[in-house]
Amino acid sequence: MALTHSLGFPRVGRRRELKFALEAYWSGDSSEALLQQAAAQVRQYNWQVQQGLDFVPAGDFTLYDHVLDTAVRLGAVPERFKADEPAITTYFRQARGRAPGGQDVPALEMTKWFNTNYHYLVPELADDQQFSLNVDEQLAQIREARAAGHKVKPVLVGPVTFLYLSKQREGADQRLSHLPKLINAYSQWLDKLAAEGIEWVQIDEPLLVTDISSDWQQALQTAYQALSEAPVKILLASYFGTLGNNLALATSLPVAGLHIDAVAGRAQLGVVDKAWPEDKVLSVGIVNGRNVWRTDLRAAIDSLKAIGERRGNQLWVAPSCSLLHSPVDLAQEDQLDDELKSWLAFGVQKVEEVQLIAKALNEGEGAIGEALAASDAAAAARKSSKRIHSDTVAKRVAAITGNDSQRQSAFGDRIAKQREYLKLPAYPTTTIGSFPQTPTIRGLRRDWRAGRLSEPQYREAISKEIEAVIREQEALDLDVLVHGEAERNDMVEYFGELLDGFAFTRFGWVQSYGSRCVKPPIIFGDVSRAQAMTVEWAAFAQTLTDKPVKGMLTGPVTILGWSFPRDDIELKTIAQQIALALRDEVVDLEQAGIKVIQIDEPAFRELLPLKLADQSAYFDWAVEAFRLSAAGVADDTQIHTHMCYSEFNAIIDAIAALDADVITIETSRSANELLDVFREYAYPNEIGPGVYDIHSPRIPSVDEMAALIQRAEAYIPAERIWVNPDCGLKTRRWDEVRPALKNMVDAAKQLRSQV
Ligand code: GLN
Ligand code: ZN
């Protein structure tokens, strides 16, 4: 009898109840009791959804982040947060730098959880870090689940992944020196769970799907050797990829169960099945935990049948990873058409799929006859649907040649022609695209969507906003202007709504961090452009000024990366389709007289595969897609790109291969290391290292920005330096933006006068 379980469920709630409870608490409009009540309701709902599983997860819930919870449970709270105050105050001060009632303090750093868009708080360990266990609140959650009648499997972030993701404040890497103390703490933790009568504990070590050095492999050995003494059974969970080089290690660890991701790591199912002893539990993540597509039940059952027959109740069926990365419930989507809906599954539906697959394995396919027929029908419809497959798009993609991603001339020739045409001063100044999204602007878009403003009224109002932004930029004496993006709600959604092949949900929220959620569009079909998307606004802006206006597009990799991609064709093909649509837009912009065009790629690094061996294939298609979108223009049209992060080490070759005429990047933090990468690579094109940190309300002075530009000259020749902020200005206010940009322009002028 195959058993069923899940690795974790979304914490935000079906209607983002936790988000609203958190924000009310933070703003002082609510109490801790009300917040905890909302949290308890989300947990109850989650368990109820999962009650048909043989084990429900507990302790996966968190008010902010499960890695922070792990650190807190281990007593790893950095000195600067310690204060005589309620635990919840210390907790939120670590997460956000501030909590009602506590002192403001720099928060913990935040970074992406493996290759997902979820951000965790980076644990900070002192050189002499000690651990002291406090898991009472996790035990309370377990009791709560039990009281509601569920069979519980607690979920813990594993000690080695925890250490690996943590950082120490300074000096050489000593993370592994903490391992023995940490193992000790985890042993006590498992003892406590055993004392609660817990049989199985899920310990997550996603580290297992990355390339790790032998000392980290050794650490896994040591840790699980020691923890195997604990009086509970350990289900060691890997996800987001194959075990790869860690296969022999993982399958030799003395744990009672192993979970593998058979979606991202489809290829490894047979291999692990051979290598993993038959008297131990093999948990197979067969339902995709991080995309929105309905599982092809027949295919899933077929791939597990033989394993199930051999392993019996030692086979567990599960989603591939925690459902944290899925939207909660498809049933509430009342504005998606039935056909599209029949192809989708969110968290609630994925839990049902797991149960159906196990039932078919245990009782035969007849036991789920109706569901199987529906799944077959959905799979067949999707394969042949005219909504998904466009011959025109397929032909165009098939006809792509190497030439299509080549600009007409090399950078040296292009830049000469661009300088001739644009006649910009030294240290040209520009911005990244958006200007403040004022309440008025948001109100305009809202009223238009709700039908309170007619199309002509809306267009008129947006034109006025554009005109105002152009006048502001002229007054500031910026060199390359932008139209300000007032018409855009979000840089991906805006394009998704205008492109064919995209669908949007009403409640498909996924936690990004804390109370922040994103609602990624769903790419369900071949992508094409029905009409121009940005030309009218850019061209209008250009009529208002003699200075060049920069057209503004989101790049193919970013549109793909911030959407749920379809799973029936390769990512590469989706990227090519988007790139071709953008290419037409770029050419149309050029024809409308827009001679500077920026193609934003802030997600370029994010899509980098976890394993080194997979990275070059990614670079090949990602670079091709960008170039494809950019290469349709004449030499004297200048292509910009923008990326707002400062870690280019692993990707500098690919960044250079994009061959954008100008790249603007974030530099406000660790500028020297960043620019060093560009210098060492001898990066040949123009660069705008951001001199104004737009994430902070602070207004940098002229001298400060001039010094930053001068510092950049140690790395990049002055004639290739642009002057610009770190990122778009949409989250700032005009009274911050105006003086900051004035200082920025003055800094550029000061340097020009010294040439
Ligand atoms: N052009 C976009 C803006 O200015 C870029 C945003 C981003 O890089 N995330 O808002
Ligand atoms: Zn940016």
| For the CA of 432, the nearest atom of ligand 1 | 4
- Do 444 and 503 sit in the same domain of this protein? no
Which has the closest alpha carbon to 323: 300, 350, 341, 358? 350
737 lines ligand 1 (CB under 6 A): no
- Do 430 and 531 sit in the same domain of this protein? no
Strand-pair partners of 168: 125
- Per-residue pLDDT averaged across 275-303, rounded? 98
pLDDT surpasses 80 at 670? no
Mutate which of 117, 430, 437, 491 for ligand 1 pocket (most atoms within 8 A of beta carbon):
491
Alpha helix segments (H runs only) across 507-611? 535-543, 556-561, 571-591
Q: Per the structure, how many domains does the chain have? A: 3
Q: What is the tens place of the pLDDT at every residue in 99-127?
A: 998 888 989 999 999 999 999 999 999 99
DSSP-assigned letter for residue 521: -
Q: How confident is the model at residue 669 (pLDDT cuts 50, 70, 90)?
A: low
Alpha carbon of 63 to ligand 2 centroid (Å): 28
- Distance (Å, rounded) from C-alpha 338 to C-alpha 174? 55
- The number of C-alpha atoms within 13 Å of 428 and in the hemisphere containing its C-beta is 23
Which has the closest alpha carbon to 332: 350, 346, 351, 352? 346
Residue in the block written with tokens 């403001």: 104
**Residue nearest atom 4 in ligand 1 by C-alpha distance:** 728
640 lines ligand 1 (CB under 6 A): no
- Do 283 and 226 sit in the same domain of this protein? yes
Which of 15-24, 42-51, 171-180, 300-309 has the least mean pLDDT?
171-180
- Do 216 and 236 sit in the same domain of this protein? yes
- Do 135 and 247 sit in the same domain of this protein? yes
H or E, element range at 737: helix 734-754
Residue 372 falls within a domain, yes or no? no
- Do 478 and 539 sit in the same domain of this protein? no
- Domain containing 742 equals 426-486+667-676+690-707+719-751
Question: How confident is the model at residue 688, as a pLDDT?
Answer: 96
461 lines ligand 1 (CB under 6 A): no
Alpha carbon of 666 to ligand 2 centroid (Å): 7
Find how far residue 694's CA is from the centre of its chain: 20
Strands (E), 310-445: 315-319
Residue 222 falls within a domain, yes or no? yes
- Do 175 and 249 sit in the same domain of this protein? yes
Residue in the block written with tokens 């801790």: 32
- Asked whether 566 and 536 are in contact (CB, 8 A), the reply is no
- Distance (Å, rounded) from C-alpha 335 to C-alpha 573? 28
Q: Is 96 annotated as a binding residue?
A: no
- Indicate the angle between helix axes 347-363 and 297-311, nearest 10 degrees: 50
Helix or strand or coil: residue 598? Answer: strand
Alpha helix segments (H runs only) across 11-147? 17-26, 32-49, 66-73, 87-96, 136-147
Residue 32 falls within a domain, yes or no? yes
- Indicate the angle between helix axes 179-195 and 136-147, nearest 10 degrees: 30
- Do 441 and 417 sit in the same domain of this protein? no
pLDDT surpasses 80 at 755? no
Residue 238 falls within a domain, yes or no? yes
Cβ partners under 8 Å of residue 275, min gap 6 = 247, 248, 251
Q: Is 472 annotated as a binding residue?
A: no
| For the CA of 730, the nearest atom of ligand 1 | 10
Q: What type of residue is 433?
A: G
- The number of C-alpha atoms within 13 Å of 449 and in the hemisphere containing its C-beta is 11
Alpha carbon of 643 to ligand 1 centroid (Å): 9
488 lines ligand 1 (CB under 6 A): no
pLDDT surpasses 70 at 361? yes
Is residue 695 flagged as an active site residue?
Answer: yes
| For the CA of 598, the nearest atom of ligand 1 | 1
Residue 369 falls within a domain, yes or no? no
Mutate which of 642, 662, 693, 729 for ligand 1 pocket (most atoms within 8 A of beta carbon):
642
- Distance (Å, rounded) from C-alpha 541 to C-alpha 467? 7
432 lines ligand 1 (CB under 6 A): yes
pLDDT surpasses 90 at 671? no
Question: How confident is the model at residue 401, as a pLDDT?
Answer: 97
Helix or strand or coil: residue 47? Answer: helix
- Distance (Å, rounded) from C-alpha 368 to C-alpha 371? 5
Q: What is the DSSP annotation of 109-133?
A: PEEE-TTSS-EEEPPEE-TT-----
One-letter-per-residue 3-state SS of 278-292: CCCEEEEEEECCCCC
Query: 124 in the Ramachandran plot: left (φ > 0), alpha (ψ -120 to 50) or beta?
Result: beta
Across the chain, mean pLDDT equals 96
434 lines ligand 1 (CB under 6 A): yes
Q: What is the DSSP annotation of 233-302?
A: EEEEE--SS--GGGHHHHHHS--SEEEEETTTTGGGHHHHHHHS-TTSEEEEEEE-TTS-BPP-HHHHHH
644 lines ligand 1 (CB under 6 A): yes
Question: How confident is the model at residue 571, as a pLDDT?
Answer: 97
- Do 390 and 504 sit in the same domain of this protein? yes
- Do 630 and 657 sit in the same domain of this protein? yes
Q: Is 516 annotated as a binding residue?
A: yes
| For the CA of 552, the nearest atom of ligand 1 | 1
Residue 434 falls within a domain, yes or no? yes
- Per-residue pLDDT averaged across 217-229, rounded? 98
- Distance (Å, rounded) from C-alpha 589 to C-alpha 592? 5
Question: How confident is the model at residue 569, as a pLDDT?
Answer: 96
Question: How confident is the model at residue 647, as a pLDDT?
Answer: 83
pLDDT surpasses 90 at 696? no
pLDDT surpasses 80 at 668? no
pLDDT surpasses 90 at 340? yes
Alpha carbon of 408 to ligand 1 centroid (Å): 28
- Per-residue pLDDT averaged across 620-649, rounded? 95
- Do 163 and 298 sit in the same domain of this protein? yes
- Distance (Å, rounded) from C-alpha 568 to C-alpha 421? 45
**Which CATH number goes with the domain that contains 36?**
3.20.20.210
643 lines ligand 1 (CB under 6 A): no
Which of 136-145, 445-454, 642-651, 717-726 has the least mean pLDDT?
642-651
Q: What is the DSSP annotation of 616-659?
A: HHHHHHHHHHHHHHHTTS-TTSEEEEEE-----GGGHHHHHHH-
Question: How confident is the model at residue 227, as a pLDDT?
Answer: 98
Classify each residue of 39-64 as buried b or exposed e, where b means 16 or more C-beta atoms within 10 Å of its C-beta: beebbebbbebbeebbbbbbbbbbbb
Neighbours of 384 (CB within 10 A): 8
- Do 556 and 457 sit in the same domain of this protein? no
Largest CA distance in the chain: 82
Which has the closest alpha carbon to 113: 165, 68, 59, 64? 165
Alpha carbon of 663 to ligand 2 centroid (Å): 11
For residue 552 the two structure tokens come to 């503004």
Which has the closest alpha carbon to 52: 317, 404, 388, 238? 317
Question: How confident is the model at residue 674, as a pLDDT?
Answer: 83
- ipTM for the predicted complex comes to 0.99
Alpha carbon of 432 to ligand 2 centroid (Å): 7
Q: Is 498 exposed, middle or buried (0-12, 13-18, 19+ CB in 10 A)?
A: middle
Q: Is 178 annotated as a binding residue?
A: no
Residue 171 falls within a domain, yes or no? yes
**Residue nearest atom 9 in ligand 1 by C-alpha distance:** 602
pLDDT surpasses 80 at 82? yes
- Distance (Å, rounded) from C-alpha 299 to C-alpha 365? 12
Question: How confident is the model at residue 106, as a pLDDT?
Answer: 87
Mutate which of 492, 600, 667 for ligand 1 pocket (most atoms within 8 A of beta carbon):
600
Query: 60 in the Ramachandran plot: left (φ > 0), alpha (ψ -120 to 50) or beta?
Result: alpha
Residue 267 falls within a domain, yes or no? yes
User: Is the pTM for the entire model greater than 0.90?
Assistant: yes
Question: How confident is the model at residue 695, as a pLDDT?
Answer: 83
433 lines ligand 1 (CB under 6 A): yes
pLDDT surpasses 90 at 718? yes
